[in-house]
Protein backbone atom coordinates (compact mmCIF):
# COMPACT_ATOMS: atom_id res chain seq x y z
CA UNK A 1 0.00 0.00 0.00
CA UNK A 2 1.24 3.51 -0.78
CA UNK A 3 1.10 4.65 2.85
CA UNK A 4 2.18 1.44 4.58
CA UNK A 5 5.46 3.08 5.58
CA UNK A 6 3.64 5.73 7.64
CA UNK A 7 1.13 3.53 9.43
CA UNK A 8 2.75 4.59 12.72
CA UNK A 9 1.43 8.15 12.33
CA UNK A 10 -1.67 8.77 14.43
CA UNK A 11 -4.31 11.36 13.58
CA UNK A 12 -3.86 14.68 15.35
CA UNK A 13 -0.42 13.68 16.65
CA UNK A 14 2.43 16.17 15.97
CA UNK A 15 3.63 13.90 13.16
CA UNK A 16 0.21 14.17 11.46
CA UNK A 17 0.73 17.80 10.44
CA UNK A 18 3.73 17.50 8.16
CA UNK A 19 4.59 16.11 4.75
CA UNK A 20 5.85 12.59 4.17
CA UNK A 21 7.57 11.34 1.00
CA UNK A 22 5.66 8.80 -1.04
CA UNK A 23 6.92 6.00 -3.30
CA UNK A 24 8.66 7.91 -6.11
CA UNK A 25 10.30 10.38 -3.74
CA UNK A 26 11.58 7.58 -1.51
CA UNK A 27 12.88 5.64 -4.49
CA UNK A 28 14.72 8.65 -5.91
CA UNK A 29 16.58 9.26 -2.64
CA UNK A 30 18.77 6.22 -3.23
CA UNK A 31 18.36 5.74 -7.00
CA UNK A 32 21.98 5.72 -8.19
CA UNK A 33 21.35 7.29 -11.60
CA UNK A 34 19.24 10.12 -10.22
CA UNK A 35 21.62 10.70 -7.31
CA UNK A 36 24.61 10.96 -9.67
CA UNK A 37 22.78 13.88 -11.30
CA UNK A 38 22.02 15.35 -7.86
CA UNK A 39 25.68 14.95 -6.87
CA UNK A 40 26.70 17.21 -9.74
CA UNK A 41 23.93 19.70 -8.91
CA UNK A 42 24.89 19.86 -5.20
CA UNK A 43 28.54 20.44 -6.04
CA UNK A 44 27.70 23.24 -8.45
CA UNK A 45 25.45 24.87 -5.85
CA UNK A 46 28.10 24.64 -3.15
CA UNK A 47 30.79 26.02 -5.45
CA UNK A 48 28.64 29.04 -6.27
CA UNK A 49 28.00 29.59 -2.55
CA UNK A 50 31.72 29.40 -1.75
CA UNK A 51 32.60 31.87 -4.48
CA UNK A 52 29.86 34.23 -3.31
CA UNK A 53 31.01 34.03 0.32
CA UNK A 54 34.73 34.79 0.08
CA UNK A 55 35.54 38.50 0.39
CA UNK B 1 60.18 40.01 12.67
CA UNK B 2 56.54 39.75 13.77
CA UNK B 3 55.21 37.16 16.16
CA UNK B 4 51.66 35.91 15.62
CA UNK B 5 50.20 33.74 18.35
CA UNK B 6 47.09 31.67 17.76
CA UNK B 7 45.32 30.25 20.81
CA UNK B 8 43.49 27.13 19.65
CA UNK B 9 44.18 24.58 16.94
CA UNK B 10 40.68 23.63 15.83
CA UNK B 11 39.14 24.34 12.43
CA UNK B 12 39.38 28.10 12.82
CA UNK B 13 42.76 28.43 14.53
CA UNK B 14 44.43 25.77 12.41
CA UNK B 15 43.21 27.45 9.23
CA UNK B 16 44.52 30.81 10.41
CA UNK B 17 47.89 29.38 11.45
CA UNK B 18 48.35 27.43 8.21
CA UNK B 19 47.68 30.41 5.97
CA UNK B 20 49.69 32.78 8.15
CA UNK B 21 52.78 30.59 7.89
CA UNK B 22 52.31 30.08 4.17
CA UNK B 23 52.04 33.82 3.51
CA UNK B 24 54.57 35.08 6.10
CA UNK B 25 57.23 32.47 5.39
CA UNK B 26 60.34 32.16 7.54
CA UNK B 27 60.64 35.89 8.14
CA UNK B 28 58.01 35.90 10.85
CA UNK B 29 56.99 33.56 13.66
CA UNK B 30 53.69 31.74 13.91
CA UNK B 31 52.97 30.02 17.22
CA UNK B 32 49.99 27.78 17.94
CA UNK B 33 48.93 27.16 21.53
CA UNK B 34 46.49 24.29 21.92
CA UNK B 35 45.92 21.84 24.78
CA UNK B 36 45.24 19.00 22.35
CA UNK B 37 47.91 16.84 20.77
CA UNK B 38 45.56 15.84 17.96
CA UNK B 39 43.38 17.61 15.41
CA UNK B 40 39.83 16.31 15.18
CA UNK B 41 37.50 16.53 12.16
CA UNK B 42 34.50 17.03 14.44
CA UNK B 43 31.72 16.59 11.83
CA UNK B 44 32.64 12.91 11.51
CA UNK B 45 32.44 12.22 15.26
CA UNK B 46 28.80 11.23 14.80
CA UNK B 47 29.96 8.31 12.64
CA UNK B 48 32.41 7.29 15.37
CA UNK B 49 29.44 7.49 17.73
CA UNK B 50 27.57 4.79 15.82
CA UNK B 51 30.59 2.61 15.10
CA UNK B 52 30.89 3.54 11.43
CA UNK B 53 34.34 5.12 11.81
CA UNK B 54 37.25 4.58 14.16
CA UNK B 55 38.87 7.32 16.20
CA UNK B 56 41.97 7.08 14.00
CA UNK B 57 39.91 8.04 10.98
CA UNK B 58 38.87 11.37 12.47
CA UNK B 59 42.03 12.58 14.25
CA UNK B 60 45.73 13.06 13.47
CA UNK B 61 48.71 14.27 15.53
CA UNK B 62 49.46 17.97 15.18
CA UNK B 63 53.16 18.01 16.05
CA UNK B 64 54.54 16.56 12.79
CA UNK B 65 52.23 18.73 10.65
CA UNK B 66 53.29 21.90 12.41
CA UNK B 67 56.95 20.89 12.44
CA UNK B 68 56.88 20.41 8.67
CA UNK B 69 55.12 23.73 8.17
CA UNK B 70 57.57 25.61 10.40
CA UNK B 71 54.87 26.52 12.93
CA UNK B 72 55.96 26.65 16.58
CA UNK B 73 53.53 24.32 18.37
CA UNK B 74 53.00 24.40 22.14
CA UNK B 75 50.73 21.77 23.65
CA UNK B 76 49.31 24.05 26.30
CA UNK B 77 46.19 25.87 27.33
CA UNK B 78 46.08 29.65 27.31
CA UNK B 79 45.38 31.04 30.76
CA UNK B 80 45.54 34.83 30.60
CA UNK B 81 46.08 37.72 28.22
CA UNK B 82 48.24 40.73 29.08
CA UNK B 83 47.60 43.10 26.17
CA UNK B 84 49.54 45.99 27.71
CA UNK B 85 52.56 44.02 28.83
CA UNK B 86 53.83 44.24 32.39
CA UNK B 87 55.76 46.55 34.60
CA UNK B 88 58.94 47.53 32.80
CA UNK B 89 58.00 45.92 29.47
CA UNK B 90 55.22 47.06 27.13
CA UNK B 91 55.31 43.89 25.03
CA UNK B 92 51.92 42.17 25.14
CA UNK B 93 51.99 38.51 26.13
CA UNK B 94 49.84 35.58 27.16
CA UNK B 95 50.43 33.07 29.93
CA UNK B 96 50.07 29.39 29.16
CA UNK B 97 50.12 26.12 31.08
CA UNK B 98 51.51 23.09 29.29
CA UNK B 99 49.36 19.99 28.97
CA UNK B 100 51.95 17.85 27.20
CA UNK B 101 55.35 17.80 25.50
CA UNK B 102 56.75 16.46 28.82
CA UNK B 103 56.05 19.78 30.51
CA UNK B 104 52.55 19.21 31.86
CA UNK B 105 51.72 21.77 34.54
CA UNK B 106 54.58 24.13 33.69
CA UNK B 107 53.69 27.74 33.02
CA UNK B 108 55.23 30.11 30.53
CA UNK B 109 54.80 33.53 28.96
CA UNK B 110 54.52 33.96 25.20
CA UNK B 111 54.96 37.45 23.77
CA UNK B 112 53.04 38.46 20.67
CA UNK B 113 52.64 41.19 18.09
CA UNK B 114 49.30 39.82 16.97
CA UNK B 115 47.00 37.49 18.88
CA UNK B 116 44.18 35.34 17.55
CA UNK B 117 41.72 33.85 20.00
CA UNK B 118 40.48 30.62 18.42
CA UNK B 119 39.93 28.74 21.66
CA UNK B 120 36.51 27.43 20.73
CA UNK B 121 33.99 26.33 23.36
CA UNK B 122 34.22 25.02 26.85
CA UNK B 123 31.79 22.10 26.94
CA UNK B 124 29.83 23.36 29.92
CA UNK B 125 28.34 20.02 31.09
CA UNK B 126 28.08 21.29 34.69
CA UNK B 127 25.56 23.97 33.63
CA UNK B 128 22.92 21.26 34.03
CA UNK B 129 23.00 19.30 37.31
CA UNK B 130 23.72 15.67 36.51
CA UNK B 131 24.81 16.31 32.94
CA UNK B 132 28.33 17.00 34.19
CA UNK B 133 30.33 15.32 36.94
CA UNK B 134 30.72 18.51 38.96
CA UNK B 135 34.33 18.86 37.85
CA UNK B 136 33.84 20.22 34.37
CA UNK B 137 33.60 16.88 32.59
CA UNK B 138 30.72 14.82 31.22
CA UNK B 139 28.74 12.92 33.85
CA UNK B 140 27.98 9.24 33.90
CA UNK B 141 24.30 9.28 32.96
CA UNK B 142 24.57 10.37 29.33
CA UNK B 143 26.91 10.18 26.36
CA UNK B 144 28.32 12.80 24.00
CA UNK B 145 29.70 13.06 20.47
CA UNK B 146 31.48 16.39 21.00
CA UNK B 147 34.94 14.80 20.97
CA UNK B 148 36.30 11.64 19.35
CA UNK B 149 36.82 9.99 22.76
CA UNK B 150 33.29 10.84 23.81
CA UNK B 151 32.02 9.33 20.56
CA UNK B 152 33.93 6.09 21.16
CA UNK B 153 32.26 5.80 24.56
CA UNK B 154 28.87 6.64 23.02
CA UNK B 155 29.22 3.78 20.54
CA UNK B 156 30.10 1.33 23.32
CA UNK B 157 26.94 2.28 25.17
CA UNK B 158 24.93 2.05 21.93
CA UNK B 159 26.24 -1.46 21.32
CA UNK B 160 25.09 -2.51 24.80
CA UNK B 161 21.60 -1.22 23.98
CA UNK B 162 21.61 -3.08 20.66
CA UNK B 163 22.45 -6.32 22.45
CA UNK B 164 19.56 -5.78 24.84
CA UNK B 165 17.18 -5.13 21.95
CA UNK B 166 18.37 -8.27 20.18
CA UNK B 167 17.46 -10.23 23.30
CA UNK B 168 13.98 -8.73 23.28
CA UNK B 169 14.34 -5.82 25.70
CA UNK B 170 12.84 -2.56 24.44
CA UNK B 171 15.15 0.50 24.72
CA UNK B 172 14.35 4.20 24.97
CA UNK B 173 16.68 6.65 23.20
CA UNK B 174 16.73 10.36 24.03
CA UNK B 175 18.89 12.63 21.87
CA UNK B 176 19.12 16.41 21.82
CA UNK B 177 20.15 19.39 23.90
CA UNK B 178 20.95 19.26 27.59
CA UNK B 179 20.16 22.86 28.47
CA UNK B 180 17.89 25.70 27.41
CA UNK B 181 20.72 27.73 25.93
CA UNK B 182 22.50 25.13 23.83
CA UNK B 183 23.68 25.39 20.27
CA UNK B 184 24.71 22.56 17.92
CA UNK B 185 21.21 21.21 17.39
CA UNK B 186 22.49 20.08 13.98
CA UNK B 187 24.88 17.62 15.59
CA UNK B 188 22.08 16.13 17.68
CA UNK B 189 19.92 16.02 14.53
CA UNK B 190 22.63 14.04 12.73
CA UNK B 191 23.23 11.69 15.63
CA UNK B 192 19.59 10.76 16.13
CA UNK B 193 19.17 9.90 12.45
CA UNK B 194 22.38 7.90 12.39
CA UNK B 195 21.22 5.93 15.42
CA UNK B 196 17.89 5.26 13.73
CA UNK B 197 19.68 4.17 10.55
CA UNK B 198 22.01 1.90 12.55
CA UNK B 199 19.14 0.27 14.43
CA UNK B 200 17.38 -0.43 11.12
CA UNK B 201 20.56 -1.92 9.67
CA UNK B 202 21.01 -4.34 12.57
CA UNK B 203 17.32 -5.24 12.57
CA UNK B 204 16.22 -3.87 15.96
CA UNK B 205 14.48 -0.61 15.00
CA UNK B 206 11.10 -1.96 16.10
CA UNK B 207 12.47 -2.47 19.64
CA UNK B 208 13.42 1.20 20.03
CA UNK B 209 11.51 4.30 21.10
CA UNK B 210 13.44 7.34 19.85
CA UNK B 211 12.76 10.90 21.02
CA UNK B 212 14.41 14.19 20.11
CA UNK B 213 14.55 16.78 22.89
CA UNK B 214 15.50 20.35 22.03
CA UNK B 215 15.53 23.94 23.19
CA UNK B 216 14.36 25.03 19.72
CA UNK B 217 10.88 26.56 19.73
CA UNK B 218 10.25 24.68 16.50
CA UNK B 219 12.03 21.77 14.85
CA UNK B 220 14.46 23.02 12.25
CA UNK B 221 15.40 26.23 14.07
CA UNK B 222 19.02 24.98 14.25
CA UNK B 223 19.99 28.09 16.21
CA UNK B 224 19.54 30.12 13.03
CA UNK B 225 15.92 31.13 13.50
CA UNK B 226 14.97 28.46 10.99
CA UNK B 227 15.66 28.56 7.27
CA UNK B 228 13.45 28.78 4.21
CA UNK B 229 14.66 26.49 1.45
CA UNK B 230 13.86 26.98 -2.20
CA UNK B 231 12.17 23.61 -2.83
CA UNK B 232 9.93 22.76 -5.76
CA UNK B 233 8.85 26.35 -6.30
CA UNK B 234 8.05 26.97 -2.64
CA UNK B 235 9.95 28.80 0.09
CA UNK B 236 9.73 25.85 2.45
CA UNK B 237 10.39 26.30 6.15
CA UNK B 238 13.01 24.10 7.75
CA UNK B 239 10.27 23.31 10.27
CA UNK B 240 8.39 21.37 7.60
CA UNK B 241 11.59 19.79 6.32
CA UNK B 242 12.72 18.66 9.79
CA UNK B 243 9.31 17.49 11.01
CA UNK B 244 8.96 15.45 7.85
CA UNK B 245 12.20 13.60 8.56
CA UNK B 246 11.25 12.80 12.16
CA UNK B 247 7.67 11.83 11.32
CA UNK B 248 8.68 9.53 8.47
CA UNK B 249 11.03 7.67 10.82
CA UNK B 250 8.56 7.37 13.67
CA UNK B 251 10.49 9.59 16.08
CA UNK B 252 8.80 11.84 18.64
CA UNK B 253 10.00 15.26 19.68
CA UNK B 254 9.91 17.52 22.75
CA UNK B 255 10.70 21.13 21.87
CA UNK B 256 10.96 24.48 23.61
CA UNK B 257 12.65 22.53 26.35
CA UNK B 258 15.19 23.37 29.07
CA UNK B 259 16.65 20.23 30.64
CA UNK B 260 17.26 21.29 34.23
CA UNK B 261 18.38 18.04 35.80
CA UNK B 262 19.74 14.69 34.68
CA UNK B 263 19.81 11.58 36.80
CA UNK B 264 20.29 7.90 36.04
CA UNK B 265 17.71 7.01 33.43
CA UNK B 266 15.73 10.25 33.63
CA UNK B 267 15.79 13.90 32.61
CA UNK B 268 13.74 16.66 34.20
CA UNK B 269 12.78 19.61 32.08
CA UNK B 270 10.82 22.84 31.81
CA UNK B 271 8.95 23.89 28.69
CA UNK B 272 8.34 27.32 27.21
CA UNK B 273 4.79 27.29 28.57
CA UNK B 274 6.20 26.91 32.09
CA UNK B 275 5.10 23.32 32.59
CA UNK B 276 7.51 20.75 33.99
CA UNK B 277 8.09 17.25 32.74
CA UNK B 278 10.23 14.14 33.00
CA UNK B 279 11.43 11.68 30.41
CA UNK B 280 12.96 8.31 31.11
CA UNK B 281 15.66 6.87 28.92
CA UNK B 282 18.00 3.92 28.49
CA UNK B 283 20.43 5.82 26.24
CA UNK B 284 20.76 9.60 26.13
CA UNK B 285 23.04 11.90 24.16
CA UNK B 286 22.56 15.49 25.27
CA UNK B 287 24.69 18.33 23.88
CA UNK B 288 26.01 20.59 26.67
CA UNK B 289 25.79 24.38 26.43
CA UNK B 290 28.93 26.21 25.35
CA UNK B 291 30.86 28.86 27.25
CA UNK B 292 34.17 30.57 26.70
CA UNK B 293 37.22 28.69 27.96
CA UNK B 294 37.70 31.05 30.90
CA UNK B 295 40.47 33.36 29.71
CA UNK B 296 41.36 36.21 32.02
CA UNK B 297 42.91 39.53 31.02
CA UNK B 298 45.14 41.84 33.06
CA UNK B 299 46.36 45.41 32.63
CA UNK B 300 49.97 46.46 32.91
CA UNK B 301 49.54 47.13 36.62
CA UNK B 302 48.09 43.65 37.17
CA UNK B 303 44.49 44.79 37.59
CA UNK B 304 41.78 42.53 36.17
CA UNK B 305 40.44 43.90 32.88
CA UNK B 306 38.69 40.70 31.77
CA UNK B 307 35.30 42.44 31.55
CA UNK B 308 36.62 44.94 29.02
CA UNK B 309 37.50 42.35 26.40
CA UNK B 310 35.57 39.21 27.37
CA UNK B 311 31.74 39.09 27.40
CA UNK B 312 29.90 37.50 30.37
CA UNK B 313 29.52 34.25 28.38
CA UNK B 314 33.32 33.98 28.20
CA UNK B 315 33.66 34.82 24.49
CA UNK B 316 35.85 37.67 23.24
CA UNK B 317 34.36 40.98 22.15
CA UNK B 318 34.99 42.01 18.58
CA UNK B 319 33.60 44.62 16.16
CA UNK B 320 29.96 43.65 16.78
CA UNK B 321 27.08 45.83 17.94
CA UNK B 322 26.56 44.66 21.53
CA UNK B 323 23.94 47.36 22.14
CA UNK B 324 21.36 46.23 19.60
CA UNK B 325 18.63 46.01 22.25
CA UNK B 326 15.52 43.91 21.78
CA UNK B 327 14.83 41.40 19.00
CA UNK B 328 12.68 43.88 17.09
CA UNK B 329 15.71 46.16 16.69
CA UNK B 330 18.18 43.53 15.54
CA UNK B 331 19.84 44.01 12.19
CA UNK B 332 22.20 41.94 10.08
CA UNK B 333 24.72 44.78 10.46
CA UNK B 334 25.00 43.98 14.21
CA UNK B 335 27.31 41.12 13.25
CA UNK B 336 31.10 41.62 13.19
CA UNK B 337 33.12 41.91 9.99
CA UNK B 338 36.83 42.15 10.79
CA UNK B 339 36.63 40.18 14.08
CA UNK B 340 39.09 42.67 15.58
CA UNK B 341 38.88 43.53 19.27
CA UNK B 342 37.68 47.16 19.52
CA UNK B 343 40.19 48.10 22.24
CA UNK B 344 43.34 46.17 21.36
CA UNK B 345 43.74 46.39 17.60
CA UNK B 346 46.28 43.58 17.40
CA UNK B 347 43.82 41.08 18.88
CA UNK B 348 41.21 39.06 17.01
CA UNK B 349 38.69 36.33 17.86
CA UNK B 350 37.42 33.77 15.37
CA UNK B 351 35.19 30.73 15.16
CA UNK B 352 33.21 29.99 18.32
CA UNK B 353 35.57 32.20 20.37
CA UNK B 354 34.11 35.54 19.28
CA UNK B 355 31.18 36.96 21.23
CA UNK B 356 28.11 37.22 19.01
CA UNK B 357 26.11 40.46 19.37
CA UNK B 358 23.04 38.39 20.30
CA UNK B 359 21.41 35.13 19.27
CA UNK B 360 20.10 34.57 15.77
CA UNK B 361 16.96 32.82 17.01
CA UNK B 362 14.38 34.95 18.79
CA UNK B 363 15.03 35.05 22.54
CA UNK B 364 12.32 33.30 24.53
CA UNK B 365 11.67 32.54 28.17
CA UNK B 366 9.15 30.52 30.11
CA UNK B 367 6.68 32.36 32.39
CA UNK B 368 9.08 31.39 35.21
CA UNK B 369 11.78 33.52 33.55
CA UNK B 370 13.86 30.56 32.32
CA UNK B 371 15.57 31.45 29.02
CA UNK B 372 14.92 28.71 26.49
CA UNK B 373 16.35 29.51 23.09
CA UNK B 374 19.18 28.21 20.89
CA UNK B 375 22.41 30.16 20.76
CA UNK B 376 24.16 30.84 17.44
CA UNK B 377 26.04 28.00 15.74
CA UNK B 378 29.45 28.56 14.16
CA UNK B 379 29.96 25.65 11.82
CA UNK B 380 33.11 24.56 10.00
CA UNK B 381 32.78 26.65 6.85
CA UNK B 382 32.30 30.09 8.44
CA UNK B 383 34.85 29.26 11.16
CA UNK B 384 37.49 28.43 8.58
CA UNK B 385 36.60 31.47 6.48
CA UNK B 386 37.05 33.67 9.55
CA UNK B 387 40.44 32.10 10.16
CA UNK B 388 41.56 32.80 6.61
CA UNK B 389 40.19 36.36 6.54
CA UNK B 390 41.90 37.30 9.80
CA UNK B 391 45.13 35.70 8.60
CA UNK B 392 44.96 37.84 5.47
CA UNK B 393 44.30 40.97 7.52
CA UNK B 394 47.21 40.29 9.87
CA UNK B 395 49.60 39.71 6.97
CA UNK B 396 48.54 43.04 5.46
CA UNK B 397 48.87 44.80 8.83
CA UNK B 398 52.39 43.37 9.28
CA UNK B 399 53.16 44.77 5.84
CA UNK B 400 51.93 48.24 6.75
CA UNK B 401 48.12 48.33 6.60
CA UNK B 402 46.72 50.32 9.52
CA UNK B 403 43.47 48.36 9.71
CA UNK B 404 42.17 44.88 8.86
CA UNK B 405 41.77 44.44 5.12
CA UNK B 406 39.52 41.37 4.95
CA UNK B 407 36.14 40.56 6.40
CA UNK B 408 34.13 37.47 7.32
CA UNK B 409 30.70 38.62 8.39
CA UNK B 410 28.11 35.90 8.99
CA UNK B 411 25.41 38.14 7.58
CA UNK B 412 27.37 38.42 4.32
CA UNK B 413 28.54 34.85 3.85
CA UNK B 414 26.85 31.55 3.31
CA UNK B 415 27.31 28.11 4.71
CA UNK B 416 27.12 24.73 3.11
CA UNK B 417 26.02 22.14 5.64
CA UNK B 418 25.68 18.44 5.05
CA UNK B 419 23.82 16.66 7.85
CA UNK B 420 24.13 12.89 7.74
CA UNK B 421 21.03 10.76 8.13
CA UNK B 422 22.90 7.47 7.99
CA UNK B 423 26.13 6.17 6.49
CA UNK B 424 26.32 3.73 3.62
CA UNK B 425 27.78 3.86 0.12
CA UNK B 426 24.45 2.88 -1.43
CA UNK B 427 22.08 3.07 1.54
CA UNK B 428 23.19 6.28 3.22
CA UNK B 429 21.47 9.61 3.00
CA UNK B 430 22.20 13.15 4.12
CA UNK B 431 20.58 16.56 3.97
CA UNK B 432 22.68 18.90 1.81
CA UNK B 433 21.86 22.51 2.64
CA UNK B 434 23.16 25.79 1.35
CA UNK B 435 22.20 28.84 3.38
CA UNK B 436 22.86 32.41 2.25
CA UNK B 437 23.42 34.40 4.33
CA UNK B 438 23.98 32.52 7.60
CA UNK B 439 22.54 35.36 9.68
CA UNK B 440 19.22 36.33 8.14
CA UNK B 441 18.89 39.80 6.68
CA UNK B 442 15.20 40.69 6.68
CA UNK B 443 15.85 44.13 5.21
CA UNK B 444 17.58 42.72 2.15
CA UNK B 445 15.41 39.59 1.85
CA UNK B 446 11.97 40.45 3.25
CA UNK B 447 9.81 37.71 4.63
CA UNK B 448 12.37 34.92 4.61
CA UNK B 449 15.62 36.67 5.55
CA UNK B 450 17.67 34.75 3.03
CA UNK B 451 18.46 34.70 -0.69
CA UNK B 452 16.15 32.11 -2.24
CA UNK B 453 18.60 31.68 -5.10
CA UNK B 454 21.25 30.48 -2.68
CA UNK B 455 19.30 28.73 0.05
CA UNK B 456 18.43 25.17 -0.81
CA UNK B 457 18.05 21.79 0.83
CA UNK B 458 17.60 18.21 -0.27
CA UNK B 459 17.92 14.73 1.19
CA UNK B 460 19.49 11.83 -0.62
CA UNK B 461 22.37 9.50 -1.29
CA UNK B 462 24.31 12.13 -3.26
CA UNK B 463 24.50 14.35 -0.18
CA UNK B 464 25.94 11.44 1.77
CA UNK B 465 28.63 11.00 -0.90
CA UNK B 466 29.38 14.72 -0.57
CA UNK B 467 29.74 14.44 3.21
CA UNK B 468 32.04 11.44 2.98
CA UNK B 469 34.20 13.08 0.31
CA UNK B 470 34.39 16.26 2.40
CA UNK B 471 35.60 14.15 5.33
CA UNK B 472 38.62 13.05 3.27
CA UNK B 473 39.16 16.43 1.62
CA UNK B 474 39.21 18.42 4.85
CA UNK B 475 41.52 15.97 6.58
CA UNK B 476 43.87 16.23 3.56
CA UNK B 477 43.68 20.01 3.82
CA UNK B 478 44.25 20.05 7.57
CA UNK B 479 47.30 17.82 7.21
CA UNK B 480 48.69 20.46 4.78
CA UNK B 481 49.20 17.84 2.12
CA UNK B 482 50.06 18.89 -1.49
CA UNK B 483 47.42 21.14 -2.97
CA UNK B 484 45.79 21.88 0.36
CA UNK B 485 45.20 25.52 -0.52
CA UNK B 486 43.10 24.43 -3.52
CA UNK B 487 40.46 23.00 -1.20
CA UNK B 488 38.16 25.89 -0.30
CA UNK B 489 37.05 26.59 3.25
Domain count, chain A: 1
- Determine the pLDDT at residue A55: 66
- Is the pLDDT at B295 greater than 90, yes or no? yes
Which site among B427, B460, B473, B487 would you substitute to test the A interface, given the most A Cβ atoms closer than 10 Å to its Cβ?
A: B460
Is residue A10 one of the residues assigned to a domain?
no
| Alpha helix ranges (H) inside B270-417 | 306-309, 380-398
Is residue A2 one of the residues assigned to a domain?
no
Do the Cβ atoms of B243 and A8 come within 8 Å?
A: no
Residues of A within 8 A of B426 (CB-CB) are: 30, 32
How big is the CA angle at A47 (ends A45 and A49), to the nearest 5 degrees? 70
- Determine the pLDDT at residue A54: 75
Q: What is each CA distance from B302 to B151, B294, B298, B327, in whole angstroms?
A: 41, 18, 5, 38
Do the Cβ atoms of B458 and A49 come within 8 Å?
A: no
Which chain A residue's Cα is nearest to B437?
A53
| Nearest Cα residue to B414 out of B377, B446, B439, B441 | B439
pLDDT tens-place string over residues B1-40: 999 999 999 999 999 999 999 999 999 999 999 999 999 9
Find the domain containing A23 and state its range: 19-55
pLDDT tens-place string over residues B105-119: 999 999 999 999 999
Query: From the CA of A12, how many Å to the nearest CA of chain B?
Result: 13
CB nearest A45 (choices: B434, B459, B460)? B434
Q: Please, what is the average pLDDT of chain B?
A: 97
CB nearest A29 (choices: B416, B434, B461)? B461
Query: If one looks up domain B3-123+291-398 in CATH, what number appears?
Result: 3.50.50.100
CB nearest A30 (choices: B244, B381, B427)? B427
| Nearest Cα residue to B408 out of B432, B378, B429 | B378
Contact indicator for B275, A46 with CB cutoff of 8 Å: no
Is residue A9 one of the residues assigned to a domain?
no
Helix (H, G, I), strand (E, B) or coil at B186: helix
Which site among A32, A46, A51 would you substitute to test the B interface, given the most B Cβ atoms closer than 10 Å to its Cβ?
A: A46
Is residue A47 one of the residues assigned to a domain?
yes
Which site among B416, B458, B463, B467 would you substitute to test the A interface, given the most A Cβ atoms closer than 10 Å to its Cβ?
A: B416
In which element (H, E) is residue A36 found?
Answer: helix A32-53
pLDDT tens-place string over residues B391-432: 999 999 999 999 999 999 999 999 999 999 999 999 999 999
Residues of A within 8 A of B408 (CB-CB) are: 55
Which chain B residue's Cα is nearest to A30?
B461
Residues of B within 8 A of A18 (CB-CB) are: 240, 243-244, 247
CB nearest A55 (choices: B240, B407, B429)? B407
Is residue A37 one of the residues assigned to a domain?
yes
CB nearest B413 (choices: A19, A46, A53)? A53
pLDDT tens-place string over residues B40-85: 999 999 999 999 999 999 999 999 999 999 999 999 999 999 999 9
- Determine the pLDDT at residue A52: 86
Is residue A11 one of the residues assigned to a domain?
no
- Determine the pLDDT at residue B13: 98
- Determine the pLDDT at residue A5: 87
Which chain A residue's Cα is nearest to B387?
A54
pLDDT tens-place string over residues B372-385: 999 999 999 999 99
- Determine the pLDDT at residue B339: 98
pLDDT above 70 coverage of chain B, percent: 100
What was the ipTM of the complex prediction? 0.94
Q: What is the mean pLDDT of residues B339-346?
A: 98
Residue A3: pLDDT band with limits 50, 70, 90: confident
Q: What is each CA distance from B442 to B236, B320, B355, B360, in whole angstroms?
A: 16, 18, 22, 12
| Alpha helix ranges (H) inside B214-300 | 238-248
Amino acid sequence: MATEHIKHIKPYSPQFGTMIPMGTQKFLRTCIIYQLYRFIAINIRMTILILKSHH
Amino acid sequence: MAKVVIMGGGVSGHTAASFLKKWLGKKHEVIVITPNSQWNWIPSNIWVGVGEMSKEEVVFPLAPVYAKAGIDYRQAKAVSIHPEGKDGDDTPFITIEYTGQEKAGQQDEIAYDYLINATGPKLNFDATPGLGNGQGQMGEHTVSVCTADHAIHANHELEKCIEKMKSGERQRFLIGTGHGMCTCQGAAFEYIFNIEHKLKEVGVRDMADITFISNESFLGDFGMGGIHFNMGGFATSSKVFAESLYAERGMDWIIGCHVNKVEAGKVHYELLDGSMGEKEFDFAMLIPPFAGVGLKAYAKDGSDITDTIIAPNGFMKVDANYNAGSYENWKASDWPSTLQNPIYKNMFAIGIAFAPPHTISKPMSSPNGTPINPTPPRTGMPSAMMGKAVAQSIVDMINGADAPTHTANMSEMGAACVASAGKGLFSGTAAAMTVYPIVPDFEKYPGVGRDMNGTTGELGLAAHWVKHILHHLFLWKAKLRPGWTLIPE
